Amino acid sequence: MASAQAASLIRRLTRGDHEALGEFYDLYAGLVNGMAIRILRDAAEAEDTVQEVFVQVWQQAARFDPSRGTPEAWLCTMARTRALDRLRKRSSRREEPELDDQGSTPAPRTEEALAVRKALDGLSEDQRRALELAYYEGLTQSEIAERLREPLGTVKTRIRTALTRLRGVLGPSS
Amino acid sequence: MNQERLLELVPLAALGALDGEERAAFEAELARSPAVQRELAAYQELVGRLGLATAGPPPRAALRERLLRETKPATPRRAWLAPALAAGLVAALAGLLLVRSQRDAARLQVAALEAEAREAHEAATRAQAEATALREALTSEVAFRELVSHTETRVASLTGLVAAPAARGRIVWHAGRGEAVFVASGLAAAPAGKAYELWIIARAAPVPAGVFQVDAQGRVVFRLPAGLELGGVKTFAVTLEPAAGVPAPTGAMVLAGAVS
C-alpha cells in the first residue's frame, strides 16, 4: 500500500537520504500537482507550488507525525495551503477563471482515492458546491453565502453536514 | 461558547472557512478544550484526505530535476574556524564539517566537536585572562619602577602576621601624585570567594585601597587605585576578605607595616 511505502520514504528523508526525495516525488508529484492545478488553474503556478511543497517535504520530513494521519493527507494539506496562499495573493490582481467542468479531472488511481471520489459523489449538489468553494477557492463561510446568495446559516449547515457525512463514510485514516 | 456549539464549528474550522467574531471566539476556546482540539485534528486529516480526489498528472520531467538540484545536499564545507590562541586547537576544529547527506552521523560528530570547540574556547579564554593578568602585572611593574625613581617617593615594609608568617610586602607611594604600588610575596592563594584587601590607616578608620589576588607562586604586584589620600598614612595593612571587597576590614590581618 502506498502509505506504508510513503512512511518508509519519510523515515529515509528524515535521515537526509536525498534519493528518497526523488522516489517520494515520483509517488506523489501527481497528487500535489492535481491539487495545485485544481486550485490555481494555471500549469506554471501549479508547478511552482509542487516545487515548494516537495522542498518543504525535504526540509520538514521530521515533522510528519504518522499518528496524526496518512502521508497523503499531510501532503494534500501542504499543497492546499500553499496553493490557496498563491490564489489569495493574486486574486486582487486578476479575475478568477471560471470553474472548469469536473470531467477534466483524471480518474483516481488508488483505492482510497476512489473511495474519496465516491464519497464526494454521494453528497447533494448543494453540499458539494459549498464544500468546493471552501476547499478549492479558500472562501470563508460568509464569502460562500455571498457567492451563492444563500443565508449564512444555510451555508454553514451544508458544509457541516457534508463533512460529517464524509467522515462517516470514509472513517478514520487507515 | 459551550462545548456543543464549539464542536459544531469544528468542520468549518478544519476547512479554514470560519471568519469574523466566530473564528476569534472558536480559536480562543480551542486552546482550553483538548476534546475540541482532537476533533479538529481528525477533521483536518479528513480534509487532507479529500485531496486524493484531485490527483492529476505529474508535472513536467524538468521539474523533478529542478527539485533534486535545488535540494541537493551542500558539498561539505568548513563550518567555522575558531581564532585559536593555543597551538593545536586548529586541528581539532578543522574537522567540524556539516555533511547533510549523513546528517545523523554528522550530528553526533558535530556535538563531539562542539564540545571540543567549547573546551578550546574555554582554554583560549583562560589564556586570554592570563595574558590580561600578565599585562596588568607588567603595567604595575612599570609603574613601580617609575615610582621608585622619584625622590619624593616613600617606601614602607609590611611584615607577615600570625595568619601568614612567611609573607613579606613593600609599598611605594608618592603622596603628591596619589600613586602607590604594592608588592608582596609568600602569601597563600586566597580561598574561593575570598581576596586580599589592602588598607590605608591614617587618623581614623582604615580606608580600603583595593582588593587583589596572588599568583601561583604567592606573589603580587598591585597598583593601588588612583586618587587615594596617602598624605597622613601611618600604617598599611592587608586582610583576607570576601572577593568583592568590603568597606571596613572584617577578616584576619595577614600583613601590616607602619610608616616610619
Per-residue model confidence as pLDDT tens digits over B66-113: 999 988 886 544 333 343 344 344 333 333 333 444 556 666 667 777
Cell of B73: 545536499
Nearest CB neighbour to A159, from listed B12, B41, B60: B12
Does residue B148 fall inside a structural domain?
no
Nearest CB neighbour to B59, from listed A47, A70, A112: A47
Contact list, A80 vs chain B (CB under 8 Å): 47-48, 51
Q: Bigger pLDDT: A6 or A156?
A: A156
Residues B175 and B128 in one domain: no
Residue A29 in this model has a pLDDT that exceeds 60: yes
Asked if the Cβ–Cβ distance from B57 to A173 is below 8 Å, we say: no
Residues B38 and B78 in one domain: no
Mean pLDDT calculated for residue range A106-123: 84
Q: Write the pLDDT tens digit of every residue in A9-19.
A: 999 999 889 99
Residue A76 in this model has a pLDDT that exceeds 70: yes
CA distance A117 to B235: 100
Contact list, A37 vs chain B (CB under 8 Å): 54, 56
Cell of B193: 570567594
Contact list, B48 vs chain A (CB under 8 Å): 69-70, 72-77, 80
CA distance B232 to B200: 9
Size of interface A-B (CB pairs under 8 A): 178
Residue A1 in this model has a pLDDT that exceeds 90: no
Mean pLDDT calculated for residue range A44-57: 94
Q: With cut-offs at 50, 70 and 90, classify the pLDDT of residue A174.
A: low
Residues B49 and B64 in one domain: no
| Domain ranges across chain A | 1-93, 107-174
Q: What is the pLDDT at residue A113? A: 87
Contact list, B74 vs chain A (CB under 8 Å): none
Find how far residue B49's CA is from the centre of its chain.
51
Q: What is the pLDDT at residue A47? A: 93
CB proximity A51 to B under 8 Å: yes
**Minimum mean pLDDT range among A31-35, A170-174, B24-28, B205-209:** A170-174
Mutate to test the interface with A, among B8, B15, B66 (most CBs of A within 10 A): B15
Does residue B145 fall inside a structural domain?
no
Q: What is the pLDDT at residue B82? A: 40
| Beta-strand relationship, B220-223 and B235-242 | unpaired
CA distance A48 to A40: 11
Residues B175 and B251 in one domain: yes
Q: What is the pLDDT at residue B3? A: 83
Q: Which residue of A has its CA nearest to B74?
A: A18
Does residue B141 fall inside a structural domain?
no
Q: With cut-offs at 50, 70 and 90, classify the pLDDT of residue A25.
A: very high
Asked if the Cβ–Cβ distance from B14 to A163 is below 8 Å, we say: yes
User: pTM to 2 decimals?
Assistant: 0.56
Rg (CA), chain B: 36
Rg (CA), chain A: 17
User: Helix A71-91 vs helix A18-40: angle between axes, to the nearest 10 degrees?
Assistant: 50
Provide the CATH number for the domain formed by A107-174 in this structure: 1.10.10.10
Shortest distance, CA B53 to any CA of chain A (angstroms):
5
Residues B131 and B158 in one domain: no
Does residue B96 fall inside a structural domain?
yes
Q: What is the pLDDT at residue A106? A: 59
Query: Which residue from A57, A76, A6, A109 is spatially nearest to B46, judged by alpha carbons?
Result: A76
Q: What is the pLDDT at residue B75? A: 54
Cell of B95: 574537522
Query: Which residue from A38, A119, A137 is spatially nearest to B56, judged by alpha carbons?
Result: A38
How many structural domains are present in chain B?
Answer: 3
CB proximity B44 to A under 8 Å: yes
CA distance A38 to A44: 13
Residues B128 and B67 in one domain: yes
CB proximity B45 to A under 8 Å: yes
Domain A1-93 matching CATH 2.40.10.10: the answer reads no
Mean pLDDT calculated for residue range A78-91: 91
Does residue B159 fall inside a structural domain?
yes
Asked if the Cβ–Cβ distance from A55 to B70 is below 8 Å, we say: yes
Q: Hey, how many other C-beta atoms are within 10 angstroms of the C-beta on B205?
A: 11
Asked if the Cβ–Cβ distance from A70 to B49 is below 8 Å, we say: yes
Domain that holds residue B112: 60-135
| Beta-strand relationship, B220-223 and B179-185 | antiparallel
Cell of B139: 603595567
Residues B254 and B170 in one domain: yes
Shortest distance, CA B95 to any CA of chain A (angstroms):
20
Contact list, B11 vs chain A (CB under 8 Å): 159-160, 162-164
Which are the contacts of B47, defined by CB distance < 8 A and separation ≥ 6?
A77, A80, A135, A163, B14, B15
Query: Domain boundary residue among B83, B107, B135?
Result: B135
User: Please, are residues B67 and A55 in contact by the beta-carbon 8 Å criterion?
Assistant: yes
Residues B71 and B106 in one domain: yes
Query: Domain boundary residue among B81, B106, B135?
Result: B135
Asked if the Cβ–Cβ distance from B73 to A72 is below 8 Å, we say: no
Per-residue pLDDT of chain B (260 residues; tens, 9 = 90+): 788 889 999 999 999 999 999 999 998 888 888 889 999 999 999 999 999 988 778 888 889 999 999 888 865 443 333 433 443 443 333 333 334 445 566 666 677 777 778 878 888 887 777 777 777 767 777 777 777 777 788 889 999 888 888 899 999 888 888 888 899 999 999 999 999 999 999 888 899 999 999 988 889 988 898 888 888 899 999 999 999 999 999 988 999 999 87
